[in-house]
Amino acid sequence: ALPRDLEGLRVVVSAGGTREPLDPVRFLGNRSSGKQGYALARVAAQRGAEVTLVAGHGNELPAPAGTDVRHVSTALEMRDAVHEAAAAADVVIMAAAVADFRPATRVEYKIKKTDDQPDPAITLERNPDILAELVENRKIGQTIVGFAAETGDEHAGVLDHARAKLKRKGCDLLVVNAVGDGRAFEVEENQGWLLSADGAERPIPLGSKSHLAATVWDAVAEFIKR
C-alpha cells in the first residue's frame, strides 16, 4: 500500500496538450498524450490528496479514481480552469504542454484553397504563461511545480536551459524532460532531472510515468515539510 502522506492537501495537476484553433475544423496542437499528468493525479489521489485534474487533449484516458477532472481545449481555457482551481490549492503541478502561441485570428469558416488568392500564412500571437501567472499570484505556503520539455541531452545544454527556466519562471521545483527522438511525449516511460529553487539537482532514471510521478510527489512532500 502507498503511504497516505498527502492526506489533507488540495492539489491541482494539469495534463495533456492544448489545441489552438485556426478555423472550425483545424488547430495547432502538440504530441502530449496526457499520460504523465494523469499519472501525477492518480498517484496523488492514491496517497490521500484531494485532486483536481485540468485535462487538455491527448489520449482519451479514463479519469483517475478519486479525482475531479475538468476538460479544457485551448490555452486560454486551461488558464481559466487552472487559476480557478489553484485559488484553493496547496500544490499546483503544471505537466500540461500549453501552446506558447495561438493563431492571431480564428477564421469563422473553413479556410479554402483558391486559384486566385495567395496561399494563406499563419500569424501567431503569444498565449499567457500560466505557470508564471501562478507564481505571481501565489498564495502563502503554496508550492508550485513546473515541467520543462527540452530537446538535446545533458551535454547539449538541457540542464543549462532548465536552470534558466527555473529562475525565470520562479517555481519551487522544476521537472526537466529531455524530449525529441521519441522521448517523453506519448510513450509509457519518462526520465529527467528534478531541480529545486535552492539549487539542488538530481537525475530521475528511466521508468514508468507513475514512477516519475511518485518521485515528484516525494520531493513535494519533502519541500512542504521544510
Catalytic center residues: 30
Contact residue for ligand PMT among 46, 52, 127, 142 (CB under 6 A): 127
Please tell me the distance from the alpha carbon of residue 193 to that of residue 77, in angstroms, as a whole number. Answer: 29
Q: Which is nearer to ligand PMT, 22 or 86 (CB)?
A: 86
- Stretch in the footprint of ligand PMT (CB under 6 A) among 84-92, 114-122, 143-151, 152-160: 143-151
Residue 177 makes contact with ligand PMT by CB under 6 A: yes
Residue 32 makes contact with ligand PMT by CB under 6 A: yes
Q: Which is nearer to ligand PMT, 49 or 184 (CB)?
A: 184
Please tell me the distance from the alpha carbon of residue 178 to that of residue 69, in angstroms, as a whole number. Answer: 27
Residue 96 makes contact with ligand PMT by CB under 6 A: yes
Contact residue for ligand PMT among 41, 131, 158, 219 (CB under 6 A): 131
* CB-CB neighbours of 204 under 10 Å: 18
Find out whether 100 is annotated in a ligand binding site: yes
Nearest to 13 by CA among 57, 61, 45, 46: 45
* CB-CB neighbours of 1 under 10 Å: 4
Q: Burial, 152: exposed, middle or buried (Cβ in 10 Å; 0-12, 13-18, 19+)?
A: middle
